[in-house]
Amino acid sequence: MAVAKKYLTERLLIGIICAVALLAAGPTLAGYARALAALPVYGAVCGFDKIFGSAAATPDEYRSFVLDRGCDIDAAIRGIVTALGQSLGSGLGSGLGSGLDPGVDPQRIVAIYHGSRRAESGDELSAMSTLRGALRAFPTSAANDACAAGADCAPPSFPSDYDLVGLFNAYVAFARAHFLDAVDDGADYIAATLRIGPFGQVIVLIVYAAAALIITKKLVDLWLFCASALAKRPPPTS
């Protein structure tokens, strides 16, 4: 009886360790995997010259694609500025703290972003500040773009005295933040390496292949370890 109890305890501990490891590291691994896996898709959709050409994608360009804002960084900027202007103009953005005037010209912000013009007002400076944060977030809504700049966001939808719901919401917030950070960092590292030149592009290809193999092997090893440990038969009680 004691042997069987010890066996069950060991299986339970192994299961808990595997679950905790997956919950803790999963969002970060998924974020880097997304940034890495998007590279061939980016080349196929936006042109392989953005990967192998002399004018490789900037970190903002590649990150914008990975975050579902498309290939055209200028269009992404115009969309962000227009959405924020409409949100604040209709009163939806009150309290977001971006201070963006709905009358700010999105095309001027594009020019300021590329350095062909300089910001001439506080509204344009505020728009650029908001833009930098929004380019590092998924385009879920104008409010999300404003929150990406570090402004105050809406309070949680569930009261704090709901312990289980609060715990789940806390993990969702943890997972979302770590996933987004990993996506941003991964996209930035990849694009920065590509812009070194042919040498950097070869490095990215080698790292891409090696990372794909390593990640796949680690996931398979973890699965096999957990599956074999949990499926192990208990020792005889006699």
Tokens 């010209």 sit at which residue? 105
pTM higher than the cut 0.75: no
What pLDDT does 82 receive? 85
The secondary structure of 195-234 as a DSSP string is TT-HHHHHHHHHHHHHHHHHHHHHHHHHHHHHHHHHHPPP
- How big is the CA angle at 31 (ends 144 and 74), to the nearest 5 degrees? 50
What pLDDT does 98 receive? 45
Low-confidence ranges of the chain (pLDDT < 50): 91-99, 151-152, 155-159
What pLDDT does 103 receive? 66
Q: Where are the beta strands (DSSP E) in 56-174?
A: none
